[in-house]
Amino acid sequence: MARRKPAKGKAASNGYRQARQQAAKAHKKVARQRTDTARKWAKKVVRDHDALAVEDFRPKFLAKSTMARKAADAAISTTKHELINMARKHGRDLRLVHPAHTTMDCGQCGARTKHALPLPERTYTCTACGTVSPRDKNSARVMLVRAGLNPAGADRGRPLVPLGQEAA
C-alpha cells in the first residue's frame, strides 16, 4: 500500500484500493482468529472454576516495537473481554484486580519487599515471615487475597500455616 499511496489531493488508483481491501481482509482474519482462540480458552477456564480473579492488565510497557505492542495489547484485551463475557454468561464470579506490586507482596502475610523481583528469579522469599514459594503461585495468591477470595482452594491444597501456629 505504501508504494501505491496516492499523492495528496489526487484520487487513489485501483491498485491502491485493491491493496487496501486485501490488508483489511487480512486484519479481519487475524482479529477473528484472536477472538476464536480467546473464546475457547475463556470457556474452558470459566467452565472449570466458580470464582475468578484476573489482573486488570495493560501490556503497553512490555513490547519494544509499536507493532508488537499493538498485537500484544489486542490479544490480551480480547482475551480479557471474552473472559468477562463468558463469566457473565455462565454466572461465575469474576473480579478484576489492580496489577501493581503483585510480585512484590507476600501471599501469606501481605508484606512488601523493598525491591522488585527480577524476572529470571523464579522463587519468591518473604523477608518478613520467611515463606518460600514459586513466584507465579505467590502472585496468584496475592491476587486472590486482593479480590477477597479464599486462596486455600486455589492450588487444591490446604492453606499454608506459619510456623508455631499449627492447629491442634
Share of the chain above pLDDT 70, in %: 81
Confidence of residue 168 (pLDDT cuts 50, 70, 90): very low
Give pTM, 2 decimals. Answer: 0.69
| Closest among 145, 153, 118, 121 to 134, alpha carbons compared | 121
Share of the chain above pLDDT 90, in %: 27
Q: What is the pLDDT of residues 56-71, one digit of tens each?
A: 876 666 666 776 666 6
Residue 161 has pLDDT above 70, yes or no: no
Q: What is the pLDDT of residues 122-156, one digit of tens each?
A: 888 888 888 888 988 888 899 888 888 877 755 55
Buried b (16+ CB within 10 A) or exposed e, 110-147: eeebeeebeeeeeebebeeeebebeeeebbbbbbbbbb
Instruction: Name the residue with cell 501505491.
Output: 4
Residue 25 has pLDDT above 80, yes or no: yes
Per-range mean pLDDT, top range of 13-17, 83-87, 142-146: 83-87
Q: What is the pLDDT of residue 164?
A: 55
Cell digits of residue 8: 495528496
Mean pLDDT of 4-9: 80
Instruction: Name the residue with cell 519468591.
Output: 124
